Structure 1
Amino acid sequence: MPKRPGTLKNPEQELRIFRIRALLAALVVIVLTSLLMGRLFYLQVTQHEIYTTRSEKNRVRIEPLPPNRGLIYDRNGTLLAENRPTYNLTLVRERVDDLDETLNLLVELLDVPDEEVEAFQQRSRQRQRPFQPALLMSDLNEEQIANIAVNRYRLPGVEVEAQLLRYYPDAEVMAHALGYVGRINAEELAELDPGRYAGTHFIGKTGIERFYEDELHGQAGLRKVETNARGRVLRELGRVDPVPGENLTLTLDENLQRLAYDLLEGRRGSIVAIAPATGEILAMVSTPGFDSNQFVTGIDFASYRALQEDHDLPLFNRAIRGHYPAGSTIKPFLALGGLVEGVITPDRVINDPGYYQLPNDTRRYRNWLRWGHGRVDLERSLAVSNNTYYYSLAHEMGIDRIHEQMSGFGFGQRVGYDIQGESSGLLPSREWKRARYNQPWYPGETLSAGIGQGYWQVTPLQLAAATATLANRGHWVRPRLALRIGDEPVPRDLPGTLPDIELENDAWWDRVYNGMEKVLTGNEGTARRTGVGLEYRMGGKSGTAQVFSLGQDQRYNADELAERLRDHALFIGFAPIEDPQIAVSVIVENAGGGSTHAAHLARAMTDAWLLEDEAPEAEEIRETLEHDNGRVEGN
């Protein structure tokens, strides 16, 4: 093929093209350099303060310092609630790149049970203030701490913190009186002071722990620390120390509290003991109890379900929320009400044929002794617990005056000062029944109220408070659990205290006391076996509360009934009569007559407080109860 002629080079054209390209390249470099310099100027000059602050925040961190919770002691200085060192796992969501991946890794490292995984994840997502740590797990063991330490580089935002954790040495004995602390939930978090509770993961949930939360908690502090790029603390730059919570001294006596718990061992019931002159609660027990330490770190589902499904209701505080018919324990108060209203006199005598009948009514309201007690005056009516006397008294007083007089002793009201969750019980009236059932009040219901049955419901704390007021000759001192907050004593004159009960004739108190003393020491006293060997003067009153109603011609036979259908045993008492130091109420569910079972427990509590070393042991009392089982002398 013929050769194509070669193309001649044009140096001028090539030079022109080169210059154009070089110019374009220079323009690009100048533009990019300008943009870079402008960006640097913007970041370093215009935005200097913003990025300096961000850099400082990455280098310097503010950490909250939670305060130590105040300790709780009994009246003698015995520690009831302390703080033990422990390790908690916390997470700051803002420092975590992938929350789901981090949680899955933690579940694996900590070997979280399957049933706890959902709760574990929910705690991580619980609403928190920005950069505030969320508590994932408390009381880590050594293996769990080691696993977190080895994998720390994979867990940004996750920390193991050393903190003090609440611990109750006598958890079951004190559970209902002290209450417990638990993790702060979302609702509580929204209401709490963010500054005061910074870094705090626990708050009082029930009982004394909740009522005195403000005093026990204290004030959070903070510290400023310098960290490296990995978030590890290099040094502390500054600190504001937290203010610890106030220590709390209670009126409870740990020995008396334990005795009450031991006396009720194996039974459902409650014992409350009060110092009448001061209102100090010496013992307040509800059985069965539960281990309150489980709730501090978060009780597992299986254990909580077992407590909820337990037929004995260990979580239920019978001392302040249990509603029971007062039974015959109401008779001393009703007798005083009758004297005040002028319905009876101390020497008035009735004839008891074994029953009472309303005018124009064929129904017979039976005395517990079916053939009757014959001639009965006020003192004997208390000693033998005669029902007929109080049927007659109640009918003559009427429900309106009964309600008025019994309100003065605190029935149907919350009587405690610092008792979290107390119930008011129920003192019936015609207005209450109309509002509740839209029915009128019937005369037969007044007779039931006259012996503490029917609609009338009391709590053990109410009974003890009323007994203390009776022992004080009508002077009201509101029951309380706190003796001192820090070094400051809690005053006796508390808000909400009821007015004193004043009688026209002061000798009426003595006549009621005489009748109550004969309950324990008289030849016919319903609790005369309990009163054998008394070294002090004690007034008491037994009571038997029906769990279900009997027909008019039916007779009660405990052996034919299921255990939970048997009568409740009640007893109230105070001693010494001339200078009362203790007032006690006892309720033992389904134990039968109060003249045996409950009376022995009240005597044991009184002996322990007044005689100390001479008081019998709980085991001896239980043996006596087994020996006297079924020997009921009255209701």
Structure 2
Amino acid sequence: MAKQRQTIRDFSAESNLFLRRCLFAVFFCLLLIFVILSNLFSLQIDQFEDYKIRADGNRIKVVPVAPNRGIIYDRNGTIIAENKPVFNLEISIEEVPNLDTTLAALKKLLQLSDTDIARFERNRKRQRRFQPVTLKSNMSEERVAIFSAHQHLFDGVSVEASLSRFYPYGSALTHVLGYVSKINERDLNLIASWGAQSNYAATKNIGKQGIERYYEERLHGKVGYAKLEVDSKGRTLRVLEENAPIAGEDLVLNIDIELQLYVQSQLLERRGSVVVSDPRDGGVLAMYSNPSYDPNLFVNGISQKDYSTLIQNPDRPLLNRAVQGQYPPASLIKPHLALLGLEYQVVTAKTKIQDKGFYQLKDVEHIWRDWLRRGHGIVDIKRSIEVSCDTFFYEMAYKLGIDNIYEYMSQFGFGEYTNIDLLEESDGNMPSRGWKRAKFNQPWYIGDTISVGIGQGYWTATPVQLLDSINTIINDGQRFRPQLLRAIKQDNIDIPETLNEATPVQVLSPENWALVKQAMQDTVRLPHGTAHKAFRNATYSSSGKTGTAQLFSVGQDENVDDLIIADYLKDNAMYLGYAPSDAPQISVIVALENAGGGGSNAAPISRSVMDYWLGEKYARQ
């Protein structure tokens, strides 16, 4: 075998190859260093602000802070709506690993009910994203302690302290104050229409009824914000910066809480309402509708059982009868119609008629009865008010006609809102030819006008409208509309609210005011007056008018005294009055449903209220 020849190595070629490889490696390393440096430059300089914000977003949480709701006071400085500290169990859903498991564990640990869980699910659907959802409101100290001992087991769950609305006088002021409750979809749409979404970022409750609803934007205040440093689990480590919220305005109402409680005590089990005002400025001193309910039930979410009890109650406690109850005004409007008759010279102070107990038009078989079957004998306009003679007003209404009645009574505010500071108000109905044609597609008949002459037929009014109308008579046509808000409290100083005035009622003969007011005083003062018995031996002078509103028609040949009448068809008892007669300080409307005669049922309550206001209360002060 031949011996193989050894190849001679080319050191120059190998050296060149090695050099090229080294250069490539160095270039590659330099390129990597350049890329790294470029990325570092981009991250630390070019995109510094962006990544700083992201980093802070993981470390710092900006949360909205709800403002404290304004306090509500009565006219004497007594708190009637306040904020109480409470503890709520809240869940930040995006921080919870397994929501179903967490809810099950919390339910067992804190003995939560199925209602609590169901309410949480409803709130969760309505709540804005990334906002905590309340699982349990108003937790007891025991439950707070139990959860605190186990909080480390529940990521995203915390107990938060907050202020909750509280109404110390409960059902006594429900229909005045209303209540606050959880924000729902309709409320969110309303807030959006105000352009105030950001201002409600941390707010869970909103005014739903009464003063709370009417003055929501003033009571709510302005939202604040806080920057919090948090750990990896979202728990707050410290507060970095705080922009404090601005509390809502504190309101002072015209309501006198002692008078309000007294009025409540007078109604007892009767269905109806009482409204008391100062006729000198229209300020509402008391407004109570019976039956009522406790508004605190709604603040943290009313249970289905409690709500069903309220809406199924045949006495309708949710209805504010003072501003929503629409009743035939009956004889309460006879003083107003007397003014109209005098103004249009259909009657004079000397006009007299023979009341035989009924009224009948020539060639018409139908008769319209007086409430006193034997009649009142010879009466003039003044006595017809004092004894509440229907026949006189049948005749006067016939002569006036519905067009004149409609035009003049509209000046007193009948058929329109009084603009009292409650959104729940009804406007009642002041009938006219046009209204009947639009409503029933029927013409207006003479009989319709005659019924309107005693406040019956299609005419309906709310108690607050009737009180507004009597205040207009007291002030000789000047109109101070009913008003609940008295002032705004700032730094313990009450800044008065502007009065709610309307266009005055003009009369051609000012002495007509005096005649009508004298007749109302004699209704109380003289023995034959329909309110004399109720006000006998009063230590002050007063004026008023009784009313008994009939709720069904009696046949021409029937005697109402012989009929068996269902409770819900019995007459409404009403009284409208003021005192003292020469310098009125108080005006009162009492409206009782299905209670019977106004003089025997409503007037005594008015007497008690006036006695309290003009006697007992001021004697104590």
TM over 0.5: yes
Question: 2:107 and 2:451 mapped to 1: Cα distance?
Answer: 61
Pairs aligned (count) = 590
Going from structure 1 to structure 2, the CA distance change for 1:530 and 1:361 (only over 3 Å counts) comes to same
589, 606, 609: which is aligned to 1:585? 589
3-state SS of 1:441 partner? coil
Q: Is the 8 A contact 1:354 1:369 kept in 2?
A: yes
CA offset digits 1:532-577 (Å, max 9, x no partner):
1122221111001112221122222498323222111000001112
- For each residue in 1:456-509, what CA deviation from the matched residue of structure 2 results, as whole angstroms up to 9, or x when unmatched? 111110111111111111110111101101245344443xx4311222222211
- One-letter amino acid matched to 2:377: G
1:175 corresponds in structure 2 to 174
In structure 1, the residue corresponding to 2:486 is in which secondary structure? Answer: strand
Match of 1:4 in 2: none
Structure 2 counterparts to residues 420-569 of structure 1, below 5 A: 420-486=423-489, 487=493, 489-494=495-500, 497-557=501-561, 560-569=564-573
Map 1:340-351; keep pairs closer than 5 Å.
340-351=343-354
Tell me if the contact between 1:544 and 1:570 (Cα under 8 Å) persists in the aligned partners.
Answer: yes
Task: Give the superposition deviation at 1:588.
Answer: 0.8
For residues 154-194 of structure 1, give each alpha carbon's deviation from its aligned partner in whole angstroms, at most 9, with x where no partner exists.
Answer: 43322211111110011100000011111122332352623
Match of 1:163 in 2: 162
Change (3 A) 1:134 1:36: farther
Using the size of structure 2 for normalisation, the TM-score is 0.89
* Partner of residue 196 from structure 2, selected from 193, 208, 211: 193
Say which is worse superposed, 135-144 or 249-258, in terms of deviation.
135-144
Matched, 1:52 2:59: no
Q: Are 1:277 and 2:280 matched, yes or no?
A: yes
Alignment of 1:53-92 (within 5 A): 53-92=53-92
Instruction: Give the distance between the partners of 2:34 and 2:168, measured in 1 at CA.
Output: 70
2:428 touches 2:462 (CA, 8 Å); kept in 1? yes
Task: State whether residues 478 and 492 of structure 1, in contact with CA within 8 Å, keep that contact through their aligned partners in structure 2.
Answer: no
Measure, in 2, the Cα distance between the counterparts of 1:606 and 1:394: 33
Q: Give the whole-Å Cα distance in 1 for the aligned partners of 2:105 and 2:458.
A: 58
Distance 2:148 2:109 in 1: 11
What displacement does 1:40 show? 7.4
Contact 2:156 2:233 survives alignment (8 Å): no
Matched, 1:238 2:244: no
RMSD of aligned Cα (Å)? 2.7
Alignment of 1:343-362 (within 5 A): 343-362=346-365
Partner of 1:625: none
Instruction: Measure, in 2, the Cα distance between the counterparts of 1:96 and 1:48.
Output: 31
How far the C-alpha of 1:70 sits from its partner, in A, is 1.1
**Matched residues in 1 for 2:45 and 2:98: separation?**
34
Corresponding residue of 2:112: 112
Unaligned runs of 5+ in 2: 1-20
Contact 2:95 2:234 in 1 (8 A): no
Deviation at 1:223, TM superposition (A): 1.8
SS of 1:112's equivalent in the other structure is coil
> SS at 2:218's partner residue?
helix
The one-letter code matched in structure 1 to 2:217 is D
Cα shift at 1:150: 3.6
Change (3 A) 1:59 1:383: same
- CA distance change for structure 1 residues 489 and 291 in 2, over 3 Å: closer, same or farther? same
Task: Give 2:226's match in structure 1, choosing from 223, 232, 242.
Answer: 223
In the superposition, the TM-score normalised over structure 1's length comes to 0.87
Matched residues in 2 for 1:232 and 1:272: separation?
53
Residue type of the alignment partner of 1:156: D
Contact 1:103-1:121 at 8 Å conserved across structures: no
The one-letter code sitting in structure 1 at the alignment partner of 2:249 is E
Contact 1:135-1:201 within 8 A present in 2 as well: no
SS at match of 1:577: coil
* Counterpart amino acid of residue 121 in structure 2: Q
Amino acid at match of 2:135: L
Bigger mean CA offset, 89-98 vs 338-347: 89-98
1:116–1:300 CA contact under 8 A, matched in 2: no
Q: CA deviation at 1:407?
A: 0.8
Alpha-carbon deviations, 1:496-524, whole Å to 9, x = none?
Answer: x4311222222211211221122212121
| Structure 1 partner of 2:152 | 153
Taking a change above 3 Å as real, the CA distance of residues 441 and 59 of structure 1, as seen in their structure-2 partners, is same
SS at match of 1:237: strand
Q: Which of 417, 421, 424 matches 1:418? A: 421
Amino acid at match of 2:571: D
Question: 2:311 aligns to what?
Answer: 308
Aligned counterparts of 1:512 and 1:46: Cα–Cα separation in 2: 87
In structure 2, distance between residues paired with 1:280 and 1:561: 39
Alpha-carbon offset, residue 416 of structure 1: 3.1
Contact kept in structure 1, 2:281 and 2:499, CA below 8 Å: no
**CA 1:513 to 1:200, structure 2 compared with 1: closer, same or farther past 3 Å?**
same
Q: Choose the corresponding residue for 2:325, options 322, 325, 331.
A: 322
Tell me the SS of whatever aligns to 2:200.
coil
- Please give the alpha-carbon distance, in whole angstroms, between the structure 2 residues aligned to 1:92 and 1:564: 53
Asked whether the 8 Å contact 1:69–1:217 carries over to 2, the reply is: yes
Q: Displacement of 1:45 after TM fit?
A: 7.0
Contact 1:460/1:587 (8 A) holds in 2: yes
1:324 to 1:151, Cα distance in 2 relative to 1, 3 A: same
SS at match of 1:148: helix
Tell me the equivalent position of 2:408.
405
Which secondary structure does the structure 1 equivalent of 2:534 belong to? coil
Contact 2:71 2:83 (8 Å CA) reproduced:
yes
Q: Distance in 2 between matches of 1:151 and 1:57?
A: 28
Identity across aligned pairs (percent)? 43
The answer (yes or no) to whether the contact 2:283–2:482 under 8 Å persists in 1 is yes
* CA distance in 2: counterparts of 1:585 and 1:531, whole angstroms: 15
Closer, same or farther: CA 156–38 of 1 in aligned 2, 3 Å:
farther
Deviations 1:55-101 (A, max 9, x none): 21121122222111111111011110111110122233333333444
Task: Report the counterpart of residue 576 of structure 1 in structure 2.
Answer: 580
Correspondence for 1:125? 125
Q: Note closer, same or farther for the CA distance 1:300–1:361 as it changes in structure 2 (3 Å cut).
A: same
Query: Hey, what does 1:621 align to over in structure 2?
Result: none
